[in-house]
Amino acid sequence: MPNMQEYADIVGQSIVDDLRLIAERLKGKVIQHVNSTSVGGGVAEILNRMLPLLRELGVDTRWDLIKGGEQFFNVTKKFHNLLHGRNDEITQKDFDIFMETAQRNIEEVNTFGDIVFIHDLQPIALVKKKKDNKWIWRCHIDVSNPNQRIWKFLMDFILQYDSAVFSAPSFSQRLSIRQFLISPSIDPLSDKNKELPSETIEKVLEKYEIIKDKPIITQISRFDRLKDPIGVIEAYQQVKRYVDCQLILAGGTASDDPEGLEVLAEVRERAKKDKDIHILLLPQNDIEVNALQRASTVIIQKSLKEGFGLTVAEALWKAKPVVASNVGGIPLQVKHKFSGLLCHSVEGAAFAIKQLLNTPAYAQKLGENGKEHIRNNFLITRHIRDYIILFLSLYHKKDVVYL
């Protein structure tokens, strides 16, 4: 694990000095994060990187998980999709299953932190244990247009928190508690994002039998319908009529996402006849993800909904030209025609990919701009600063805090 000082070369010494200064103010406070999985997906990715750095800064930070069975995660996945605006049917039984597991966790999880930091909806009900400590609800998903029945159900819990945190301005909601806008971040020194020797990249390509002499279009994502893997294949097929290229759809599954294998099977079925489509079920291996992103000519993120889209930041940090949907937190990262190209449809994605493959100098410029945009806004040092200020704000009564 890199130490704080190593970040100074990337973001500047003064940023690291400021972090040390403000972290001092949290001495004696215990910050306890709670979520539902330690691997897979963006939340786990961020906590794994951020916690050691906060500890190095002297902030006493812990991380606990709630427990849940298959039925519970099926229901939370359904709620998650509904919050994203999908129209699945919900029944009283779903709420009962949710509350049954929530109740067990309320009994079993020790919420000892001075600040208890709850991530997403799976552990949201733990707030019933709130005593005189401070509680934050951190929403990582796109709730710009949530299903109202689920949102109302969650509101009963949300309003018991001291503060709520959203990733993008369009997700903020009418709430009587304080809200913060804090976007996620990537760690430039992690295995996922650090520079790699070209031999490492080549070895990974060899392992997955991907050739180097055709442009590579890649989407790295869990196999989830909201990541629209089928739409990616359709866009690739439209591009392929004009430019000979390959497609990589690579992803693992997360332990709190029960739909992954089903979606993977659908994607395999759709890609079956084309040898230039590589569907990779990745083990949890950050170097491989890094290598695949670096080996790509264009990175696509064709999500239908997206909380933030760490994969976009990861690609831009590698100075890759990106085509991504104009949803959720993506437009914070991809400024159209400056740090990538935004799209709204399969056709739009195909058009943008073609444009990038045909104009490499333009593609390169977008990638370079993207890298600087990420450096200035979406690296872990900015994120740590925002969180420390958020924690400190809980002990100050003023109504409005601008980060």
Q: Which parts of this chain interact with ligand UDP (CB under 6 A)?
A: 41-42, 45, 192, 220-222, 250-252, 282, 289, 308-311, 314
Per the structure block, which two tokens stand in for 102? 């929530």
As measured in angstroms, the least distance from the Cβ of 308 to ligand UDP is 5
Nearer Cβ to ligand UDP (94/224): 224
As measured in angstroms, the least distance from the Cβ of 150 to ligand UDP is 18
Nearer Cβ to ligand UDP (180/308): 308
Nearer Cβ to ligand UDP (134/192): 192
Per the structure block, which two tokens stand in for 402? 């601008």
Query: Contact at 8 Å (CB) between 133 and 34?
Result: no
Cβ contacts of 194-202, under 8 Å, gap ≥ 24:
194/290, 196/287, 196/290, 196/291, 196/294, 200/287, 200/291, 201/291, 201/294, 201/295
Beta bridge partners of 218: 248, 299
Compute CA distances 231 → 215, 275, 353, whole Å: 19, 18, 13
- DSSP classification of residue 166: E
Per the structure block, which two tokens stand in for 271? 């890609």
As measured in angstroms, the least distance from the Cβ of 261 to ligand UDP is 13
Query: Contact at 8 Å (CB) between 309 and 324?
Result: yes
Nearer Cβ to ligand UDP (54/310): 310
As measured in angstroms, the least distance from the Cβ of 217 to ligand UDP is 16
Nearer Cβ to ligand UDP (183/246): 183
Nearer Cβ to ligand UDP (188/309): 309
As measured in angstroms, the least distance from the Cβ of 142 to ligand UDP is 10
As measured in angstroms, the least distance from the Cβ of 126 to ligand UDP is 21
